[in-house]
Amino acid sequence: MNQEIFKDNWELIVGLEVHTELATKTKLFCGCLNQFGNEPNTNVCPVCLGLPGSLPVVNETAVYFAMQLGRALHCSVNRSVFARKNYFYPDMPKDYQISQYDLPTNLEGYLELPSGETIGIERAHIEEDTGKTTHIGTSGRISGADYSLVDYNRAGVPLIEIVSKPEIRTIEQAKAYVSELRGIILALEISDAKMEEGSIRVDANVSVREIGENDLRTRCEIKNVNSLKSLGRAIEYEANRHIGLYKNGESPRQETRHWDENAGRTRSGRSKEDAEDYRYFPEPDLVPLNPSEETITKIDQEMPELPSKRREKLANQTGVKPSDVALLVERNHDVFALDVIERGGLPDQVVKHLVNNLSAGLGELTAESLAQLVQMENKSEITSTQAKKMLGELVQRGGTPAELATELGFEAIETNEIENLVDQLINEHSDEWERFCSGDTKVQGFFVGQVMKATSGQADGKLINQILNERSTSK
Amino acid sequence: IAPAEASSNLSRYDGVRYGLRIDGANLNEMNVNTRTEGFGDEVKRRIMLGTYALSAGYYDAYYGKALKVRRLLAENFAALYKEYDVLLSPTSPCTAFKLGEKVSDPMTMYVNDVCTIPSNLVGHPAISIPFGHGQDGMPIGVQILAPPMKEPVMYQVAHTLEMAAQ
């Protein structure tokens, strides 16, 4: 992997832990509804409340989703064992979390970024989510709170935790990683993955080292990053903090830090040194999961079209730059684009229109209409300015370009008509024309404007300029 | 194995959602106060043993090892059941002692379970029935152990023995 310089002679090392809530009907170990936004403590039962004597039963769909994600990330799907992660906290009803430890469902995969770079994936395992605590007090955090409230609706919701290898080297890569992972999750339809709702959460492990070093230095885990923008800011802040410490002859402590969005900085949280011993052991109330070869084959065969495949398809049809292709796939306009191209729209031009003029959405515009529009533009039946205006109308109210052109009175203004107009203007504005001929380019806008005025904006700007230049050189 | 699992199973008694709660200056103090007051000595003993057996650095030597031993035990039983339909043993190594007589001697108390623990460890059915008296006049229990899913055979043998004892 190329060594990228983050700052001066320092290299940025980032690993991301992404948690995604699965969109199953019910929770991971009980039949309670898996739903966001209900009244607190209404989707609960003895199992997810951890009442004495309750026992977990695995949700098959959650496991299937996990294996699908694993295969989409090129992981090996393995026999897995649930494990208890023991620690005390009010949002965990059993005071242990049922997760996976040394035998997770998915191991050793990779994620391909739109740029073509790949980031290694260490593992993707299944675990249950905790409840949600709200601390009532001045800081909104547990220290200094007057009292706290716990909502267990979320306790027991299935999560997949995807752990990347520390191979991310730039902030752009970090953001692209999360975006692409989210794109894959959405394509699989296993989660709605919304950062604002917490159905996808990102923790960043950040460290730095000098270019040329082989070993990794101390890292800090950053939590409470709630958007891609925050992710970038948090990584940048933390990396700079580490560099600052090293330059001072100090070094960062290995710890978990909390990203403060308002203050734009990270703050010390739990120290990872006197870190909890989670006393992991195999969950005695559950049997190991042992997916069959047939199941894994079925998953591979049923794999939907992932973003990378969609980008490849569109890139094969056009010659535009990769970022435009990625943009269309992200906006879900790639299928539409391919449709337009198939109907005869010139590929690069189709993409140009979609990227530049249709970011707000397609509305009533049909693929056939866009194809016709592009063809009309190519045959110079309409100018690009006219095309843009027509697009706006087609999006708003549909119809066909041919009808619309007639309705709007768009006709191509003949070349000799423009030539006549230009000659007329030259006669009427000899001073300005002198200035233009002697190199005053500012006055060009005046002439173009006058022609446009005379033709009610229908003339082709390119053509006007061409004629102006011809006239000035021939005189 | 049992104390290890118990140390985890009993974590839920933290005073947050139900049961006893003894307040403290903060969350941690409340947990500690509640559990100190709420758990009896034997429970505390098992929790400490279990936590130790699961801790980093000790897991492999204790809990990890114990799981492997349990597996060997299960294989032993499986081999025996190839030749025998059921197994017989005393239910406890000695006849009943007086109430409160040995409670302060935990090791002896644990040893009394030694005949009944195997079936629980390997997950096989077992049943205990009264069968005569010892020399001290106290009743003796006989245990019948059977392979998984063979409860019908186990009940038949138990019933026959029970009738014979009367």
| Count helices and strands in chain B by DSSP H and E runs | 7, 3
Over the stretch B40-97, which tens digit does the pLDDT of each residue have? Answer: 999 999 999 999 999 999 999 999 999 999 999 999 999 999 999 999 999 999 888 8
What is the ipTM metric for this complex?
Answer: 0.84
Strands laid side by side in the B126-133 sheet:
B87-90, B139-145, B126-133
Kind and range of the H or E run holding A109? strand A106-112
SS3 category, B130: strand
Query: Most A CBs within 10 Å: which of B7, B8, B18, B63, as the mutation test of the A interface?
Result: B8
CA within 13 Å, CB half, A174: 28
Chain-chain contact of B56 with A84 (C-beta, under 8 angstroms):
no
* Residue B62 near chain A (CB below 8 Å): no
Closest CB to A277 among B27, B56, B63: B56
* Residue B82 near chain A (CB below 8 Å): no
The radius of gyration computed from the CA coordinates of chain A, to the nearest angstrom, equals 30
Chain-chain contact of B5 with A284 (C-beta, under 8 angstroms):
yes
Which band of pLDDT confidence, cut at 50, 70 and 90, is reported for residue B18? Answer: very high
pLDDT at A414: 64
- Residue position matching structure tokens 């007086």: B98
CA–chain centroid gap for A367, Å, is 26
SS3 category, A455: coil
Dist. CA A191–CA A158, nearest whole Å: 10
Dist. CA B160–CA B88, nearest whole Å: 13
Chain-chain contact of B16 with A90 (C-beta, under 8 angstroms):
yes
**Block mean pLDDT (10 aa), chain A, length 475:** 79 97 98 94 97 97 98 98 96 97 97 93 98 84 81 97 97 96 96 92 96 94 95 97 95 93 89 73 96 97 94 89 88 91 90 90 90 87 84 88 80 71 83 83 83 77 82 73
pLDDT at A165: 98
| Residue A150 near residue A160 (C-beta atoms within 8 A) | no
Dist. CA B92–CA B115, nearest whole Å: 6
- Residue, of A3 and B25, whose pLDDT is higher: B25
pLDDT at A472: 78
Dist. CA A143–CA A11, nearest whole Å: 35
Percent of residues in chain B assigned helix, strand, coil, to nearest 5: 55, 10, 35
Over the stretch B103-113, which tens digit does the pLDDT of each residue have? Answer: 777 787 888 88
Closest CB to B51 among A96, A150, A279: A279
* Residue A94 near chain B (CB below 8 Å): yes
Residue A118, number of CB atoms within 10 A of its CB: 14
**CB burial class (10 A; 0-12, 13-18, 19+) of residue A387?**
buried
pLDDT at A31: 97
* Residue A84 near chain B (CB below 8 Å): yes
**CB burial class (10 A; 0-12, 13-18, 19+) of residue A116?**
exposed
| Residue B113 near residue B121 (C-beta atoms within 8 A) | no
* Residue A96 near chain B (CB below 8 Å): yes
Closest B-chain CA to A87: B11
Task: Tell me the residue type at A119.
Answer: I
Residues 6+ apart with CB under 8 A from A85: A96, A97, A98, A99, A101, A127, A278, A280
Chain-chain contact of A277 with B55 (C-beta, under 8 angstroms):
yes
Q: What is the pTM of this model?
A: 0.81
Dist. CA A7–CA A4, nearest whole Å: 9
* Residue A95 near chain B (CB below 8 Å): yes
* Residue B25 near chain A (CB below 8 Å): no
